[in-house]
Structure 1
């Protein structure tokens, strides 16, 4: 955020400049009213700090001239005059707030934050988010996946500039105007390097998608967080996969039947999050456990699986379809991680989602929800998704309900089993990210079209 300080007292100028810069504001200084008027009308600022007693044009007259020229940004008066008449005169001239000298710097900062929030068309958040990235504007703390991210003051200012203006494209010269004072204007190459540095730090922190995209011939803009749901859930659960493998290893030793179920769930979750090789390894472990093979055959696969989890998952670009008219989706899966991923993906498109992790609640939830589409896992412990699909099709009420099966299985037998049971579509969990939402949307649209035609 860029502030114009119009003040002729050099000591106050130095104090306020250092304080505001330390809080990530960019400051331009004018020591008289005429210079302040020129800067305010020729350059873009987010707020003006204006002293009343300044040479050439006093603060009251300057405030009046700015408002007469349709200057809409907040103006905060700084004055040694504390009489009611002087305060009323300043506010009537067009100021938004006032602060009498001497003042506490903490109060000045609080009033600046309040005025900047007031200038928004809606209540401005104190925390800006983009996927798993969080920026606390009050503490200036930046987190990615709940971990602190150290940025330089200019990197922080660049990041907040784009997060505050998600729909705007900034040229290099506009970025210079917003992030640097007039006395310290760098070349456009400095902006290019600054953007490279920010991208590098975000990538090192784990962000898979570039936050800023280049608009050739125009500048840069904030990338639409099309896959923010994936990034958020991935960041939240990525670290849990290693502990799940450790738990699987313990279950193999002490509870093999439970281990087979955990391997099955892990195979699906890993595939959903881009660990396709890890998913195949977990599937092999599941088959060996079902066949009651010796642990000596499973141990090397556990080691391979741990090694795969040290690698980054496959980056998958997701195209966000347009939001559809309000529709309800019911999800059935025994794995909480997969349910969270699917739910976030669908909710980001404006769909109402009801999740069922415990199959015994299936029929009650189905009757209460009355979904427009049903999405469920093909195989769950103590429940066969194909049999459940067949039971749904036998009810007159749900005979035409679109059903989409998801599974970690990729063999032809599983696919045939799903369609034979009455499923309308089938998707592998390793392909959930790029294909899942479009297929659900397609089933909803097709069902509505058939209802209209009938």
Structure 2
């Protein structure tokens, strides 16, 4: 569980953080209200501990702001002031609990556990269990079948994460986000793999082999087979753990595979709270209900115990219990508070009007009359549980010489309403991609004389199709599988095709693609991706670039003076600034680039297959556009918005996300130290970055060119005459640093061509490149003959000069990074 502690007393904050870490919580610490707000924008937390007296933004105001955004995270407030009025003010602002200093660690721990139970975090009982595996958060103890497990702190936290979220698959990156705090040096994914391995070995030693299973291509989760095995054992036990009948109906028929194919349909878990168990036996034993697994609890007191054992997809509650309607309504209210995301269906016995009136004001999902026809019951459950199929069904593109392969995949996909197109000619692939882009490409490596591997590599290197999910079909030899993934494939399926396995792989890959496309983790304010989603996507781009041996750019951006804007103009204006920056970046970056809010005023960007220089130019253009769109203020004034950014390149300046972040952050720091309002690359921090001198007679052009180059992080000097320029160029030449001189004919006191001729005779010509601003082609040719490296013809637009400037650097390899 991840906690945010906002406390300005650094000694107390460290003491509390250490105490909570001992209790296996991951703790981030912020020392003022605004820093706490930025942390909340950049990461997901399970609970906030909030001091009232905070600098910059007090705790009550921060609490109110959290609630105003619709965030219902549990909040525990700390204060040295214990009056009733203080507590009322905090609770009215949205706090869930109040604790007065001095703080007892054991009481703090108890209040945290109580808040997590009330906050819908599936901790109905302090003891977490999964089959014969139990975990006691109060004592930090773990047992399997009565045998204790001695776990390291990270192994314990890892197991607790799985047990609290036992229906979820966690990727390695998601585990890093949950179990490592911002103050830690974020390790690589291999660290997670090592902890998983250690935990599995200790579980295996007590007889729980494979209790943590790997979901290929997605991550890790708890193995449900252990839960089922435990239920079988308990059904034969005479020692009941709770006082009521809890019968699980195995409505999934054992003959479901009589057609020779496994049942791959989604199965749903239903908790039925009903004392009339015979009704469930009659209804759910039919073939129409094979996709539902129903657990019947015949006693109201046994509901919480049942929820501890298994978290359902839907709850059905009967109102006809003997103790009376009030008791049932109290249970209903508790269920709705603990499980706001799970639908609750009211089961009635015919008197619908009376029942509806009794539950008026409750947020139930619907009514179901017990006497309804079986088909109506089925349709009601399906409407609440099954997700509607998308308006545009997913499309598969199969490329194979085998007609049998194409026909088999088409038949397997048909029940799932997937559209399948089959190509038997590899040459037709590119045109097909252009006309109808698929959601998944399936390549047969046994066709086309093995050319499918080369096609996969070409797609990974293509900016337009680098994102496309690719599944390779082939023989299951280690060499073939390795070759497929080295070529850039996302998945591999064996030939001959095994129907159920193929369907599962297709559906999993499509679901993962849909999640990535929809970007559910969107920052509400800016419309950009949130940090957690960006981390996964950026790591994915790194892996794709590694396979395809191409470069990526990575950038960190910070809005200049956002805190001052908030203080002077209010947070509503600050929010508008964030929105405008986000929209501008989305407009000027490529459609496939990652643009995400990292937290507070910080935004990160990443682009697959794009160089540092290309990302540099995209972001600089966005900055120039942003400066030209001042934000109108209510008083009739306007606000000029700028930002600072650092840009780096994979793998030149880093081969992990952490290394790239550090490299880009160093460039960002340089941009800030220079006054902000510019974009600096990592390459510009090296000794190879050129110094720029402008010597020409048009002052307006000089000023415009200076601003354009300074926006891109270059140090620029305008020289008024050739004598001063001569002295400065010679002095810089002594350092060996590269120089670029923008030179024109109209200079004082001599002509530009005469000055150029003199320059080429000096010892500095090995470090100096001259870009000539020419009036006509004749003058340009003369300048080139004398030694100019590039020229631009009048009228000299800054965009044309910039293109020549970039070309000059790339040709002469002054400082730009290459793979």
Q: TM-score, normalised by structure 2?
A: 0.29
Distance in 1 between residues matched to 2:208 and 2:193, nearest whole Å: 19
Q: Which residue of 2 aligns with 1:386?
A: none
Q: Which stretch shifts more, 117-126 or 86-95?
A: 117-126
- The Cα shift of 1:223 comes to 2.1
1:183-227 per-position Cα deviation (integer Å, ceiling 9, x unaligned): 21211111111111111110011113x122222232222222366
Match of 1:19 in 2: 19
* Deviates most, 211-220 or 173-182: 211-220
Q: Equivalents in 2 of 1:31, 1:118: separation in Å?
A: 27
Give matches, 1:250-261, under 5 Å.
none
Provide the rounded CA distance (Å) in 2 between the counterparts of 1:131 and 1:176. Answer: 26
Partner of 2:201: 200
Render the CA deviation track for 1:398-436: whole Å, top value 9, x for unaligned: xxxxxxxxxxxxxxxxxxxxxxxxxxxxxxxxxxxxxxx
Q: Distance between the aligned counterparts of 1:322 and 1:61, measured in 2? A: 43
1:60-209 paired onto structure 2 within 5 Å: 60-120=60-120, 124-184=124-184, 185-208=186-209
How far apart are the structure 2 equivalents of 1:179 and 1:213? 19
Q: 2:116–2:123: 8 Å Cα contact kept in structure 1?
A: no
CA contact (8 A) 1:167 1:221 kept: yes
Provide the secondary structure at the position in 2 that maps to 1:169.
Answer: coil
Cα distance in 1 for residues equivalent to 2:296 and 2:101: 54
SS of the residue corresponding to residue 124 of structure 2 reads: coil
Matches within 5 A, 1:360-439: none
Q: Distance in 2 between matches of 1:231 and 1:186?
A: 38
Q: CA deviation at 1:99?
A: 0.6
Kept in 2, the 8 Å contact 1:132–1:231? The answer is no
Residue 46 (structure 1) aligns with = 46
| Structure 1 length-normalised TM | 0.51
SS at match of 2:64: helix
Contact 2:123 2:164 in 1 (8 A): no
What is the alpha-carbon distance in structure 2 between the residues aligned to residue 323 and residue 162 of structure 1? 19
Rate the CA distance shift 1:25–1:64 in 2: closer, same or farther, 3 A.
same
1:350/1:58 Cα in 2 relative to 1: closer, same or farther (>3 Å)? closer
1:58 matched residue in structure 2: 58
CA distance in 2, matches of 1:28, 1:84: 29
Paired residue total: 250
1:213 maps to 2:168: no
Query: Residue 141 and residue 121 in structure 1: after superposition, are their counterparts in 2 closer, same or farther (change >3 A)?
Result: closer
CA distance in 1, matches of 2:68, 2:119: 18
> What is the Cα deviation at residue 95 of structure 1?
0.6
Secondary structure in structure 1 of the residue aligned to 2:5: strand
The equivalent of 1:375 in structure 2 is none
SS in 1 for 2:154: helix
For 2:652, the equivalent position in structure 1 comes to none
Q: 1:26 to 1:123 in 2, by over 3 A?
A: closer
User: In the TM superposition, what whole-angstrom CA distance separates every residue of 1:138-175 from its partner, at most 9, and x where no partner exists?
Assistant: 11111111011111111111111111111112121111
Deviation at 1:75, TM superposition (A): 0.4
Deviations 1:342-373 (A, max 9, x none): xxxxxx98599xxxxxxxxxxxxxxxxxxxxx
Q: Given that residues 162 and 222 in structure 2 are in contact (C-alpha distance below 8 angstroms), is that contact kept between their aligned partners in structure 1?
A: yes
Gaps of 5+ in 2: 238-263, 271-279, 283-292, 298-819
Matched with 2:392 is none
In 2, Cα distance between the equivalents of 1:176 and 1:163?
A: 17
1:5, 1:16 → 2: CA distance? 8
Larger radius of gyration, structure 1 or 2? 2
CA contact (8 A) 2:169 2:221 kept: yes
Distance 1:100 1:326, change over 3 A: same
1:18 positional shift: 1.0
User: Which structure exhibits the higher relative contact order, with contacts defined as CA atoms closer than 8 Å and separated by 6 or more residues?
Assistant: 1
CA distance in 1, matches of 2:116, 2:227: 30
Give the whole-Å Cα distance in 2 for the aligned partners of 1:113 and 1:186.
Answer: 29
Between the aligned partners of 2:232 and 2:207, the Cα distance in structure 1 is: 11
What secondary structure sits across from 2:142 in the alignment?
strand
Cα separation, 2, equivalents of 1:158 and 1:79: 32
Where in structure 1 are there 5+ consecutive unaligned residues? Answer: 238-318, 328-347, 353-454
- CA distance in 1 between counterparts of 2:93 and 2:269 reads 47
C-alpha distance in 1 between matches for 2:35 and 2:147: 44
Change (3 A) 1:213 1:326: same
User: Residues 33-92 of structure 1: CA distance to partner in whole angstroms, max 9, x if unpaired?
Assistant: 111001112211110000011111110111111111111110000001111111111111
